[in-house]
C-alpha cells in the first residue's frame, strides 16, 4: 500500500532522483541474482554457461554480463518443464494465482504469482492508477478481458487497493449490458483498448438514448494495443466521450501495468520504481544506453521483488522514445512514447515500418477514414517487398466517387511520412475487427494459404 497523499501514491519515491532509484533497484537486483542462483538449477545453469557468478555483479554495468531472457526462452522453459517452467523459483504450493498471455502466437505464457507477488502487482498498478489520476472517490469500470488476462483481474484488485470502486464488467457482457452497467453504477473512469473505447462511445446513443458525453465519464485509461499515444486516435476518443485519455502499458512478466501517463501528457511514467530494475538498450546491438532526454531504444526489465518467476534482463522488444525533462507533475522517472514493437517491425527495402506508425498516418484522415488499419502479409516477414498491402477502413459517409482519390492521398501521405510504398486497399466501415482485447494490426495471410 502506498503513502497516498492526494497527489502522489508515494511522494518520496516518485520524486526521488532517478539515479538514486536505479541504485536502490540495482542493490535489489544483486540480491535477486544471488537468490535465483541458489534456489533455481535453471538459473544456475544459465549463469554458469555465461561464465557469471552472482558475486561478479558489483556495478550496474556488470548486468550486461548476464544474458538476456527472451520471450521464446520463457515459452521453451514452460514447454520443457510444464506448466510454469524451469525458472520457477518457489514451491508450486506457494502459488496463489496464475495469469496467461493473450497467446497471439497460439502458445500462451503462464505467469505464476505468490501472495507477495500479488501485493507487488497491486502496488505497481496502484501507482499507475494514481498517476493517471484515479482516486478513491472514483468508480472504475474495467471493460478488458477478465479471463486470465494480466490487465483484467489485477486491474480490478489494484484499483480497489487505492480505494476506488471497481466494476469488473469485462469484455463479454455484450454492448447493451455493458453500457447499462456503466450508466447505472455512475461510472467515472473506464478502462478499455483504444479501438474498443472509440467503438463503444459511438454506440451509446443507440443503446441508451443519450450521448456518451452525458454519462459522466471523466477519465479513460487505454492500453493493450497501440493507439493511446496517437494524437488522432486520442482526439477521436475524446470527441466521443469528452474526457481525458491516459495511456497505460504493462506485461505479465513484470506487472499488468507498469507505465502510465499523468496529466502532463508528456509520455508514460515508469511506475515499477522499487519493484523493477529498468534498462535501455540498442535494439540492434543489445548494448546498454543511458536514460537521456530524446534517447530511443528497447526496454529491458529485471523483476527485483518477484518471487515465483523473477525474470532477469527480460527483453521487452518495445521500441521507445525516452523523455527525461522536468514536468509539472514532479515525477522523476523516465517517461516513454512507444514507437512500436521490434518483433512486429517490418523491413521494406531497408526502411523500418511499425504498424502503429501506419495507423498514426491513417488516423490523420479521420473522418474520411475510421482510423482502423490492417497490414496484410502474403509471405512471412520481417523482410517485405513493396508495395506493402494496407487495408484502410473508409468512412461510410464518403461517396463511392471520391474513394479512389482518398486511397491515392492516403498512399501518398504514408509514402511521404514513412518512406515506403504502400498498396492501400479501402475496406468498408466496420470490416476490420473491433475488440475489447488486443487488436492485431498484421494479418498473416500466408498462414491460411498454408493450411
Give the tens place of pLDDT for each residue, 398-418: 999 999 999 999 999 999 999
Per-residue pLDDT band at 106 (split at 50, 70, 90): low
pLDDT at 102: 63
pLDDT at 232: 78
Q: Annotate 86-100 with b (16+ C-beta within 10 A) or e (fewer).
A: bbbbbeeebbebebe
CB 167, CB 185: distance < 8 Å: yes
Q: What is the DSSP letter of 69?
A: B
Give the tens place of pLDDT for each residue, 310-359: 999 999 999 999 999 999 889 999 999 988 777 677 888 878 788 888 98
pTM score, two decimals?
A: 0.84
Per-residue pLDDT band at 105 (split at 50, 70, 90): very low
Mean pLDDT of the region 249-261: 96
Task: For the chain, count helices (H), then strands (E).
Answer: 12, 21
Per-residue pLDDT band at 449 (split at 50, 70, 90): low
CATH of domain 346-450: 3.30.300.30
Grid cell locating 190? 473506464
For 141, how many CA atoms within 13 A lie in the half-sphere containing its CB?
26
CB 302, CB 277: distance < 8 Å: yes
Q: Bigger pLDDT: 227 or 361?
A: 361
Instruction: Indicate the fold that domain 1-277+298-315 takes in CATH.
Output: Rossmann fold (3.40.50)
Q: How do the domains of the chain map onto residue ranges? A: 1-277+298-315, 346-450
- Of 79, 86, 70, the closest CA to residue 108 belongs to 79
pLDDT at 411: 96
Mapped to the 3 state alphabet, what secondary structure does 32-51 carry?
A: HHHHHHHHCHHHHHHHHHCC
Please count the residues of the chain. 451
Residue 383 has pLDDT above 90, yes or no: no
CB 289, CB 352: distance < 8 Å: no
Residue 104 has pLDDT above 50, yes or no: no
Amino acid at each position: 500500500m502506498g503513502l497516498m497523499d492526494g497527489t502522489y501514491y508515494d511522494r518520496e519515491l516518485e520524486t526521488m532522483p532517478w539515479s538514486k532509484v536505479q541504485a536502490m533497484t540495482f542493490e535489489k537486483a544483486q540480491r535477486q541474482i544471488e537468490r535465483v542462483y541458489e534456489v533455481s538449477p535453471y538459473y544456475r545453469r544459465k549463469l554458469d554457461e555465461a561464465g557469471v557468478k552472482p558475486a561478479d555483479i558489483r556495478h550496474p554495468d556488470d548486468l550486461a554480463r548476464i544474458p538476456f531472457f527472451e520471450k521464446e526462452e520463457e515459452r521453451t522453459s514452460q514447454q520443457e518443464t510444464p506448466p510454469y517452467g524451469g525458472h520457477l523459483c518457489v514451491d508450486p504450493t506457494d502459488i496463489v494465482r496464475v495469469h496467461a498471455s493473450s497467446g497471439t502466437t497460439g502458445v500462451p505464457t503462464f505467469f505464476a504469482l505468490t501472495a507477495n507477488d500479488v501485493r507487488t502487482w497491486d502496488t505497481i498498478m496502484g501507482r499507475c492508477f494514481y498517476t493517471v489520476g484515479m482516486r478513491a472517490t472514483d468508480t472504475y469500470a474495467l471493460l478488458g478481458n477478465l479471463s486470465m488476462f494480466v490487465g483484467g483481474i489485477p486491474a480490478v484488485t489494484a484499483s480497489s487497493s487505492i480505494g476506488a470502486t471497481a466494476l469488473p464488467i469485462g469484455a463479454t457482457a455484450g454492448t447493451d449490458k455493458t453500457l447499462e452497467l456503466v450508466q447505472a453504477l455512475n461510472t467515472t473512469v473506464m478502462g478499455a483498448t483504444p479501438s474498443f473505447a472509440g467503438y463503444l462511445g459511438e454506440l451509446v446513443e443507440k443503446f441508451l438514448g443519450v450521448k456518451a458525453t452525458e454519462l459522466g465519464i471523466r477519465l479513460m485509461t487505454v492500453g493493450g494495443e497501440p493507439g493511446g499515444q496517437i494524437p488522432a486516435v486520442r482526439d477521436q476518443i475524446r470527441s466521443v466521450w469528452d474526457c481525458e485519455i491516459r495511456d497505460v502499458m504493462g506485461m505479465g512478466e513484470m506487472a499488468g501495468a507498469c507505465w502510465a501517463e499523468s496529466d502532463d501528457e508528456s509520455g508514460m511514467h515508469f511506475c515499477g520504481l522499487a519493484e523493477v530494475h529498468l534498462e535501455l538498450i540498442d535494439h540492434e546491438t543489445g548494448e546498454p544506453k543511458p536514460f537521456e532526454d530524446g534517447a530511443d531504444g528497447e526496454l529491458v526489465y529485471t523483476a527485483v521483488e518477484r518471487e515465483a518467476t523473477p525474470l532477469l534482463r527480460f527483453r521487452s522488444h518495445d521500441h521507445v522514445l525516452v523523455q527525461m525533462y522536468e514536468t509539472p507533475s514532479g515525477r522523476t522517472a523516465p517517461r516513454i512514447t512507444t514507437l512500436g514493437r521490434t518483433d512486429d517491425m517490418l523491413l521494406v527495402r531497408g526502411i523500418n515500418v511499425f504498424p502503429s506508425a501506419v495507423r498514426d498516418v491513417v488516423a490523420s484522415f479521420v473522418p474520411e477514414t475510421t482510423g482502423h488499419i490492417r497490414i496484410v502479409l502474403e509471405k512471412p516477414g520481417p523482410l517485405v517487398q513493396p508495395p506493402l498491402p494496407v487495408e484502410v477502413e473508409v468512412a461510410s459517409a464518403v461517396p463511392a466517387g471520391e474513394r479512389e482519390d482518398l486511397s491515392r492521398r492516403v498512399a501518398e501521405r504514408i509514402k511521404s511520412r514513412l518512406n515506403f510504398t504502400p498498396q492501400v486497399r479501402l475496406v468498408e466501415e466496420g470490416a476490420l475487427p473491433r475488440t475489447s482485447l488486443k487488436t492485431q494490426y498484421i494479418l498473416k495471410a500466408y498462414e491460411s494459404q498454408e493450411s
